[in-house]
A and B are shown apart, each in its own frame.
Chain A
């Protein structure tokens, strides 16, 4: 059972435009959500996170939105740059358990065209 789902395997956007990556989860116990970015032949790197007590967190060009009632989060990249081309993984955790255990989605490959 896939508790974290990224239903779009790929996304292509033009440089300078907005990229929106989506993620859905099923487990209502999840209270901490993260996005990781992965370049080819490298490991994933942490990008941005959000706690369930918030509905938005912003870091430069990256903003994560959380809709708890819909069990949905999204990552917005504005403006998109060619260097943003990578695989983006959504992840969720039960922070209160303090285990560090992350459940990841399948990933979405973003291509930003110059």
Chain B
């Protein structure tokens, strides 16, 4: 299996621009998670989906952030408008049926820089 695939690997944009991050989970996995890594807070859970339905978006920092999962094989995280403080590494992870769901498989991440 190819694992969790994220694109792009790196994104450099200017403040105010829209940014879209993409994720393809492992085939057959029914849960998908978006995390953000910063030095201060480590890995923060932004949102997660179960069977394509958003379950918990309490970690989404502001209305500028939105996430969708139109089907079982694709998810997007969008930031509009982007700000310099959004600069971080964004990870997508997926997990499969059965316990423990907590064994997450992570993608390689998207390094986002907002200038």
- The total of interchain contacts (Cβ-Cβ below 8 angstroms) comes to 75
Q: Please tell me if the beta carbons of A95 and B107 are within 8 angstroms of each other in the complex.
A: no
Is B62's CB within 8 Å of the partner chain A?
no
Q: Please tell me if the beta carbons of B40 and A102 are within 8 angstroms of each other in the complex.
A: no
Residues of B within 8 A of A100 (CB): 31, 33, 48, 50, 95, 100-102, 104
- A98 CB to closest chain B CB (Å) equals 7
Is B55's CB within 8 Å of the partner chain A?
yes
- Report A's interface with B, CB cutoff 8 A: 2, 6, 32, 34, 36, 41-46, 49, 89, 91, 93, 95, 98-107
- Report B's interface with A, CB cutoff 8 A: 4, 31, 33, 35, 39-45, 48, 50, 55-56, 91, 93, 95, 99-109
Between A and B, 22 residue pairs with Cβ closer than 8 Å are A34-B102, A36-B106, A41-B109, A42-B109, A43-B108, A43-B109, A44-B91, A44-B104, A45-B106, A46-B105, A49-B103, A93-B102, A98-B99, A100-B48, A100-B101, A101-B48, A102-B33, A102-B45, A102-B104, A104-B43, A105-B42, A106-B40
